A and B are shown apart, each in its own frame.
Chain A
Amino acid sequence: MTQMIERAALTEAVYYILLALHEPMHGYGIMQFVKEISKDRVNLGPGTLYGAINTMLGKGWIEGLASDEDSRKKEYRLTSLGRQVLRFEIDRLEELLSNGKKIAGGQAI
């Protein structure tokens, strides 16, 4: 629970992986989802993705689904803790965004 109280900003990669895992998905699926949803802006490297998945598994934000004998396509999905982490992050981003728009948004920059 401490990591939730910290409320530190998530990295872009972690944020998008959590979003992707609302639906069970395997690694390659996550890469494609993130690429698509960010309109090609965020291209997750396999090393980055794999490291993030392992860290998040360790923190209990996501879980691996029992796979068939073919472990090639291991799927992951969000846990309820992961959902909360994501919720907090969305609230935090919303605050940043609304303050930004309020103060800097009306002016031509």
Chain B
Amino acid sequence: MKQVIWKLFTDHEKEEKWLNEMSQKGLQLVHYTPGRYLFEEGQQGHYIYRIELLDQLPSHPESRAYIRFMEEAGAEYVTHILRWVYFRKKASDGPFELYTDRESRMTHHKRIMTLYGVLGGVNIVTGINIVHNSTPGLGLLPYTNLLLGFLFARIAYGQWVKIKRLKADEELFQ
């Protein structure tokens, strides 16, 4: 049995948490397109899910090598959306974390922040231009870029907060 749930996250860690809660209920993610999660009914808590933003698209040789490496480590590549990839591993194999120290966690957060910061900036500038030059009577349509821009900027800001929190530890711990 398959089940579709529509949902949108601005924080990949909250998304991850939710996917793992769904897994606990016996719903295992098998495919994702923006906002649309496709689950398959299975054993409760069978898989642990992890999400990652790669440097390159999954089809790039560098990403393919990484995905192969993940598979070698016992993880399964589930689905992707642009540079975001979804992995899962059997919970019976023990804990499954992609990043296990502060340095690498910060690198990942920075990668996400940079992408969404740029996307946010570009969309806000474009959006202001469009709103400024649009003829009346189009309703909310001219505001699309502006709204997207704020959404992306919100995502980037969330990552910045996480980086700041991790940085606070840097003074004390290697």
- Chain A positions within 8 Å of B, measured between CB atoms, are 9, 11-13, 26-28, 31, 42-48, 50-52, 71-74
Contacts and interface: CB of A to CB of B under 8 A. Distances in A.
B98 A45 contact: yes
Contacts, number: 55
Nearest to A13: B101
The size class of the interface chain B forms with chain A is 20 to 34
6 contacts: A11-B174, A13-B101, A27-B73, A51-B104, A51-B107, A74-B65
B99 interface: yes
B171 interface: no
By Cβ-Cβ distance, the 3 closest A-B pairs, closest first, are A47-B98, A45-B100, A48-B104
B70 A46 contact: yes
A73 B72 contact: yes
Contact of A72 (B52, B72, B103, B107): B72
Contacts of B99: 45, 47-48
B68 interface: yes
A40 B67 CA distance: 25
Given A11-B101, A11-B103, A51-B107, A46 B69 contact: yes
B35 interface: no
Q: Is the interface of A mostly helix, strand, loop or mixed?
A: helix
Nearest to B100: A45
Contact of A12 (B68, B101, B108): B101
**Most B CB atoms within 10 A — which of A27, A28, A48?**
A48
Contacts of B69: 27-28, 46, 50
A46 B69 CA distance: 8
Interface in B47-105: 52, 65-66, 68-70, 72-73, 75, 95, 97-101, 103-104
B107 A44 contact: no
B98 A46 contact: yes
A66 B104 CA distance: 27
A48 B95 CA distance: 15
Contacts of B100: 13, 42-45, 48
A46 B101 CA distance: 11
Contacts of A11: 101, 103, 174
Contact of B52 (A42, A47, A52): A47
A50 B75 CA distance: 14
